[in-house]
Structure 1
């Protein structure tokens, strides 16, 4: 099959989880014999066209804009123009696969103009992020998501939780959706070994302190403040021998104020953004990863911890309970409950045998449920279903 993919981020442009998802899924589909043309956004010195792991990557220019939504509109104009050129000159294409609402306008236009079936992956929803629609921005994005979902031949989601969310929020028919887990590439998680372990570790904590960390976007939905609210109980139970490290870009002022006001400032380290190589090194020195999200469609960060053999504590929000099996591959705590989070962290820090058992189970689970080659076969099955149905009708 020949597939046109639209995604607003692709390495080296990394904003959220879509970039890595796209970069790791499609090479496996190339291995299955499919030809992939990916239209994405220019970034730095990255070539306008190149072949990456078998994917034909086309990066389009986006003109000057006054705000984010104007930028999205201009991006769709560029993607639509270049996508149309590819469909004309490199076609015929069998499918268009769009990732999230930002590419909705170009994907829908190309579908209708060239009569090519549209498959859509919804990675998250605006309703879910904010637990409702509370302003015009939320309602605008929600409308784009609804239009894209309605125009899709099939919709792919990453967890059963997301399938139910789309059914509840958009009234998307359950039999129109396919649940396909996200995955992880173990090779990309391997840390460089040529570094001074203890010197690196001492940047973050003294030798006798256990390192508990969060990594990800610093936003309300990620619940980082709840980890800090749980910290005093953990610090007390560990007689002070613990350090909380917060890694991620974004505004941390309110979190720093919280740490100061609750008297745990000296037990917190705000690392800011951390490049992938350094982050892989950091994972070799950490003792526990905490992801206390209030909304989490899947939770790729849990898989990254699995791969690094770090025990994890997650909330029971969203898809986390499907990814992390409580007590077997990690600790699942109550979302929004600092006492529950503290209990989960202490279960890991104070019970090393159980923690190690969960680490081994979690690592084995990567190959059982989160292997990209397996995920590619499941994605191919969706494509084949669409192609079979398409061949039976006149458009």
Structure 2
């Protein structure tokens, strides 16, 4: 098949797990013999004079990294305007693929959009080429904000997600919990929806049993520094963990908008010296931490899937995770890891203590977690299942749609220390 993927991140521009997912899927589809073109973008804050649109072939995939247009939009301050501008540039580049002398008349069999940020180019290009639109919804705005869309920008993003879901000819989610969330929020009636789990290259995450501990316990968090990831709960739990296991440290690997706020939380809980912000780690450095730490703590309050849990399981580190979303489907409490309810700091403390109190049992659970990484998570299986969705998707007759009804609800009770 000829596949046109549209994603706001793709190597070398990677923001989080979405970019890694699209990269693995695209290259696996290319390896299977399909023609794959990925429309993505140049780094934020650049322009076409310094970073013009760049087309290149990497691992069998044609990547079209689209330059930013001249108007001044900053993602942090003008998110919706920035997104629309990015989409407009992608539409022009996507149309160019079908023009002789530019894309040599290349026409896709399907357009695959990844998340709301590429709703406009995904919908426009599927209409232009008159081919099915398949969308993977990796997360939702309501889910990221504890089920609420009370703010102006929240409502705008939610409405774009609703539009994309209902304009698609087939939908993909990465977990059953995400499937339920999408059906509840967007009600995409009569649109096929399939769960296809994220994949993992087990060979890239070598397994190593824990060596006997010779010093204070070391805990590790890996992921974005955002409120929904629950890092603040791990920091809040650390004082009590240290009372039971003196000297315990927490290393936080990742970047995000809440870095300063999380650093302040460490000061508030008087554990600033025990918390290290390591920033974004390279693969080898991250693997070293996964092999050396006593446990990885993933305290998400919202988690559509939880790819870091799979990577951690492959490396052999004991898992301590919340039951949020996909994590609750991936980790079996007492069998493959230790679990606790989202936002339950007491439960987090108990789970970490259980791991540190009995390292041998924790290692047994780590072995069990590694064994669960069956072919279900192999990228060739993920690619084959995705092709099935492409082949069965049929372009529907479009009918005019009104705007979505967004129920006005008061803000829920929030953590008084949560950043606004």
Deviation at 1:17, TM superposition (A): 1.1
Unmatched segments (≥5 aa) in structure 2: 400-420
Deviation at 1:326, TM superposition (A): 1.9
Cα distance change, pair 32–220 in 1 and its aligned pair in 2 (3 A): same
SS in 1 for 2:98: helix
Larger helix proportion of the pair: 1
Unmatched segments (≥5 aa) in structure 1: 192-197, 199-205
2:404 match? none
Q: Which moved more, 1:308-317 or 1:365-374?
A: 365-374
SS in 2 for 1:305: helix
Deviation at 1:66, TM superposition (A): 2.5
Q: Which moved more, 1:288-297 or 1:223-232?
A: 223-232
SS in 2 for 1:87: coil
Cα displacement string for residues 294-346 of structure 1 (whole angstroms, at most 9, x for unaligned residues): 11101111112112211111111111111212222212211111110111112
What are the equivalent positions in structure 2 for 1:115-264 lying under 5 Å apart? 115-131=130-146, 132-173=148-189, 176-189=192-205, 208-238=215-245, 240-250=246-256, 251-264=258-271
Q: Which of 86, 95, 108 is 1:75 aligned to?
A: 86
What are the equivalent positions in structure 2 for 1:327-366 lying under 5 Å apart? 327-366=334-373
1:49 match? 55
Q: Which moved more, 1:347-356 or 1:371-380?
A: 347-356
Alpha-carbon distance in 1 for matches of 2:173, 2:268: 40
2:169 and 2:191 in contact (8 A); partners too: no
* Residue 301 of structure 2 corresponds to residue 299 of structure 1: no
Alpha-carbon distance in 1 for matches of 2:38, 2:24: 13
Cα distance change, pair 174–362 in 1 and its aligned pair in 2 (3 A): farther
Alpha-carbon distance in 2 for matches of 1:393, 1:18: 30
> Which TM-score applies when normalising by structure 1?
0.90
SS in 1 for 2:171: strand
Alpha-carbon distance in 2 for matches of 1:72, 1:247: 27
> Which TM-score applies when normalising by structure 2?
0.84
SS in 1 for 2:381: helix
Alpha-carbon distance in 1 for matches of 2:378, 2:296: 21
Alpha-carbon distance in 2 for matches of 1:384, 1:77: 28
* Residue 395 of structure 2 corresponds to residue 380 of structure 1: no
SS in 2 for 1:319: helix
Cα displacement string for residues 174-194 of structure 1 (whole angstroms, at most 9, x for unaligned residues): 862100001112344459xxx
1:96 and 1:119 in contact (8 A); partners too: yes
Deviation at 1:106, TM superposition (A): 1.0
Alpha-carbon distance in 1 for matches of 2:66, 2:360: 51
SS in 2 for 1:289: strand
Deviation at 1:171, TM superposition (A): 1.1
1:6 and 1:107 in contact (8 A); partners too: yes
Cα displacement string for residues 12-56 of structure 1 (whole angstroms, at most 9, x for unaligned residues): 111011110011112221222211011110248798122211111
2:52 and 2:67 in contact (8 A); partners too: no
Cα displacement string for residues 140-189 of structure 1 (whole angstroms, at most 9, x for unaligned residues): 11111111111100000000000000111111238621000011123444
1:202 match? none
Q: Which moved more, 1:146-155 or 1:280-289?
A: 280-289
2:15 match? 15
1:167 and 1:174 in contact (8 A); partners too: no
When the two structures are aligned, how many residues end up with a matched partner? Answer: 378
2:97 and 2:107 in contact (8 A); partners too: no
SS in 2 for 1:184: coil
Alpha-carbon distance in 2 for matches of 1:59, 1:262: 44
